[in-house]
């Protein structure tokens, strides 16, 4: 399969799937230089002692000058994440929270990271835990000045593994990932849904929900889905069952009245659709 690698905005929480290290180098350069321009401390987190992406960054006068003044660094992956272990999501979020606080204390506007994390998702157990971490750290990013680009080598991991990770990000360059489930901004619910949910990806959606581990508030799980272009009955059934297992009602905020009609027509329990006007 040939995947066209589109450009995405240099902000927020991105999943960057790549086959060519040159495309990663270009995106890392753009993302980190934008962070420096905004006053952030920036890191490139690499799994390799000799990394052409790191070499290219060091060759940039702006990045090299930032390294000298403590505003930029190339960090070994296994000093940031546990080598060979399954990541513990809360512990890893806490580590980046502490690094963000240190950046703020040093006078920066926040912390921005490009992390080549392929080595952290080689096994199924690693993938399960890291996908859960991706959602948890996304929640942290909604309230604190931390942003990250998470890079994964598609040809080493395969399409399915990349899709399982990419769908947990608000933004991705993986064009074959049709939906994203990620943390909603404060006040907008427990999570946000964008894209399309159909026959091709409803099982992936169920997996993503389980990994997000959403916790009800006052008996409700609220999902902001105004950016969802299509939603079929299978995804609605998964959402309703997910909420019921947590003793809650799923509340889906959407701009599409067809979702409400589907719930009524199929008499799906555990879910309520509220159509935005």
**One-letter-per-residue 3-state SS of 133-155:** HHHHHHHHHCCCCEEEEEEEEHH
**In a domain? residue 2:** no
Q: Is residue 7 over pLDDT 50?
A: no
Q: How confident is the model at residue 277 (pLDDT cuts 50, 70, 90)?
A: low
- Domain end marker among 177, 205, 231: 177
Mean pLDDT value across the chain? 91
Statement to judge: residues 112 and 209 lie in one domain = no
Higher pLDDT pick, 265 / 44: 44
Q: Is residue 44 over pLDDT 50?
A: yes
Q: What is the mean pLDDT of residues 85-93?
A: 93
- Domain end marker among 123, 155, 177: 177
Statement to judge: residues 134 and 256 lie in one domain = no
**In a domain? residue 145:** yes
What CATH number corresponds to the domain at position 57?
3.40.50.300
**In a domain? residue 63:** yes
- Domain end marker among 177, 206, 229: 177
**In a domain? residue 6:** no
pTM, two decimal places: 0.91
Q: What residue numbers bound the domain in which 170 lies?
A: 13-177
Residue-level pLDDT at 96: 97
What CATH number corresponds to the domain at position 201?
3.30.750.24
Q: How confident is the model at residue 241 (pLDDT cuts 50, 70, 90)?
A: very high
Higher pLDDT pick, 3 / 34: 34
Alpha-carbon distance of 277 to 274, in angstroms, equals: 9
**In a domain? residue 184:** no
Alpha-carbon distance of 142 to 184, in angstroms, equals: 8
């Amino acid at each position: 399969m040939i995947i066209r690698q589109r450009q995405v905005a240099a902000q927020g929480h991105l999943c960057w799937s790549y086959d060519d290290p040159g495309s990663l180098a270009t995106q890392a350069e753009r993302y980190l230089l934008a962070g420096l321009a905004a006053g952030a401390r920036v890191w490139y987190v690499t799994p390799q002692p000799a990394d052409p992406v790191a070499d290219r960054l060091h060759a940039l006068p702006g990045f090299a000058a930032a390294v000298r003044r403590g505003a930029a660094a190339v960090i070994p992956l296994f000093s940031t994440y546990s080598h060979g272990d399954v990541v513990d999501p809360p512990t890893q979020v806490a580590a980046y929270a502490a690094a963000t606080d240190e950046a703020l204390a040093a006078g920066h506007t926040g912390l921005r990271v490009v992390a080549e994390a392929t080595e952290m998702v080689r096994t199924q157990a690693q993938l399960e835990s890291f996908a859960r971490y991706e959602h948890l750290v996304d929640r942290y990013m909604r309230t604190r000045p931390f942003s990250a680009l998470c890079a994964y080598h598609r040809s080493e991991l395969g399409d399915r593994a990349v899709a399982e990770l990419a769908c947990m990000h608000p933004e991705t360059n993986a064009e074959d990932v049709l939906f994203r489930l990620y943390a909603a901004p404060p006040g907008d619910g427990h999570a946000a849904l964008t894209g399309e949910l159909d026959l091709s990806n409803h099982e992936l959606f169920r997996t993503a929900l389980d990994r997000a581990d959403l916790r009800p508030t006052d008996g409700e799980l609220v999902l902001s889905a105004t950016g969802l272009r299509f939603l079929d009955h299978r995804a609605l059934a998964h959402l309703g069952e997910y909420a019921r297992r947590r003793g809650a009602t799923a509340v889906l905020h959407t701009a599409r009245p067809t979702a409400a009609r589907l719930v009524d027509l199929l008499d799906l329990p555990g879910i309520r659709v509220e159509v935005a006007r």
